[in-house]
Amino acid sequence: MSKVVSHSFFTDFDIDLFKAGKHFRLYNKLGSHLTEVEGVKGTYFAVWAPSAKSVSVIGDFNYWNAGEHELYVRWDSSGIWEGFIPGVDKGTKYKYKIHSNNNDIWTEKADPFARFCEQPPNTASLVWDAPYTWKDQDWMDTREEKNGLDKPYSVYEVHLGSWKKKHGWESLTYLEMADELVNYVDEMGFTHVEFMPVMEYPYDPSWGYQITGYFAPTSRFGKPEDFKVLVDKFHQKGIGVILDWVPSHFPEDAHGLGYFDGSHLYEHPDRRRGYHPDWKSLIFNYGRNEVRAFLISNAIFWLDQYHVDGLRVDAVASMLYLDYSREDGEWEPNMYGNNENLEALSFLREMNQEVYASFKGIQTIAEESTAFTGVTKPVHYGGLGFGMKWMMGWMHDTLEFFKKEPIYRSYDLNNITFSLTYAFTENFMLPLSHDEVVYGKNSLLYRMPGDEWQRFANLRLMFGYMFTHPGGNLLFMGGEFGQSSEWNFLQSLDWHLTQYDFHSGIQEAIKDLNKMYKSNPALYEKQFNPEGFQWIEYNDRENTVITFIRKGNDPNDDLIVACNFTPVPRENYRVGVPKTSTLKLVFNSDETKYSGSGMGKKTMKPAKTPWNGHEQSVVMTLPPLSVVVYR
């Protein structure tokens, strides 16, 4: 095979942008690209390795011989090595063999910009393009209207490898999921699906959060173009796609980004800032321009090349604080003497500014568990610029409350009501995520107290409370039918449970809650605005009942919500209401079709009896362990 031909995709302007950390389409330049030079077909390779003495492309085309195809280093001190190799075709396996100037070290690395990787445990990159004709133009043209913060956000969180197995052990492919998963999410009525990381990762027990191939959908389930089909099919059903994105850390695997060219290239060189003690992984050097360009290019890549509608950014809290998970003496304060990671803050702000400026109708969502202020405030107001933030406090307080026997709940009613004291300080999404059903925490169903009937009633009540609480919603797969065991990434969900009435009842309740959420503007138009919520009664400890109003732009859309957190029916429960018009039932978690008891009223006419600060009131029948919603 011919030797390397000098060739470049880079202009001087590209290099200037790269050095300044402002080149956010690096995937068009770095990596491997099928091309033609002077009538000869082959592949152009480019890799950033500034500490290298030499860089060779090794692969199955040259028997992995480092001396055969050495790249040319650019003259401009960019640290980029590049060249065109004739005859290297799509599907060729390759790596970079790097001889470092740093202590004469040799490394053998996968391509950081590879579009496709070998299936783990193999670690080579593959030369690939993924041509695809998208069929989601209707979605993309109207996404800005459908994906806004004043629109419904009911998210189904999915781990692709364990949602459903065939033959008892084999995961579905992207193409099979484009049929089965898409139709299921559509049938259940969710507005969005969120995938735990799809970027290539070597270690299954990491669930995808230890990434080595940031630009490659994992080959476990098919080809990159197959993943495009999956996204496309969701869009054709009007369902948005959110990807988990992990710019917070990366693994030390020998073929990955760590110690890439024999130096601390991607990771921070100071172990106090470059190593994560919890996850035994490396932390990006957010102050290095080229690393920022790599990460922001990666965020844009998925929005651009895969039409993704949102990025849920993992472990943001670990990025914000220099002392995160560290003891005294294990971290160093910033220039102002405090614990904020100024470089990471700057990176997150720039990332959010760039993606929102580049793509209409997308959202970024922060998994951030601290009281850091302004996560969802615009950057020009001093915020981080995220669209939404996971409401971890709500999740913790709610699960703590629901695990208690109802007889004790009156003493902890503030666990349920407290979230409304800060619900509008950020744009919150309420998560019941994968993290809550692993590591001995038990399934959502088996956190609930009582006998079988009460467990399921409690679960329906909790879901009803979540859907009527201000903010978006996220539910991890399996929760929607009352999965009884903890999530196990090696196994399929327990789909056989849906043949039983209690489990299918949960499924029907989730369908109806999604339908209610999407068809009642009072639940989403002002979900991040204090004008969208009003308490009726939040301190009825005697009955352990809360009542409130949800409001949209039109007062005629207002909803009255009542939650009874005990198994005792409240048959003559008076509730003050703001209007004299008849109340009509929208949702009752105690319906017999959900395996409830069937109590409750369909309509109620208010009487001129003042109550709860209102001039009129109704007498409700509150079923046991239930939420009822009236319009």
Just list the catalytic residues.
314, 367
The 3-class secondary structure across 550-563, one letter per residue, is ECCCCHHHCEEEEE
Q: How many CB atoms lie within 10 A of CB 312?
A: 28
Q: Round to whole Å and give the CA distance between 565 and 625.
A: 5
- CB distance 576 to 612 below 8 Å: yes
Q: Round to whole Å and give the CA distance between 470 and 551.
A: 10
Q: Using DSSP, state whether 42 is helix, strand or coil.
A: strand
Q: Using DSSP, state whether 398 is helix, strand or coil.
A: helix
Half-sphere exposure of 560 (CA within 13 A, CB side): 24
Distance of CA 602 to the CA centre of its chain: 38
Tokens at 270, concatenated: 């100071």
Amino acid at 607: A
The secondary structure of residue 95, as a DSSP letter, is: E
Q: Round to whole Å and give the CA distance between 360 and 154.
A: 20
- If you write DSSP's letter for every residue of 142-168 in order, what string do you get? HHHHHSSTTS--EEEEE-TTTS-EETT
Interacting residues of 254 by C-beta distance below 8 A, sequence separation 6+:
107, 108
Amino acid at 479: G
Amino acid at 303: L
- CB distance 277 to 325 below 8 Å: yes
CA dist 141 → 269, 325, 360, 577 (Å): 44, 44, 9, 41
Closest Cα to residue 25, out of 265, 266, 294? 294
Tokens at 102, concatenated: 């740093």
The DSSP bridge pattern shows strands 240-245 and 192-195 to be parallel
Question: What is the dihedral angle through the alpha carbons of 348, 435, 473, 468, rounded to the nearest 10 degrees?
Answer: -130
> What is the residue whose two structure tokens read 């949960």?
506
Closest Cα to residue 457, out of 596, 586, 569? 596
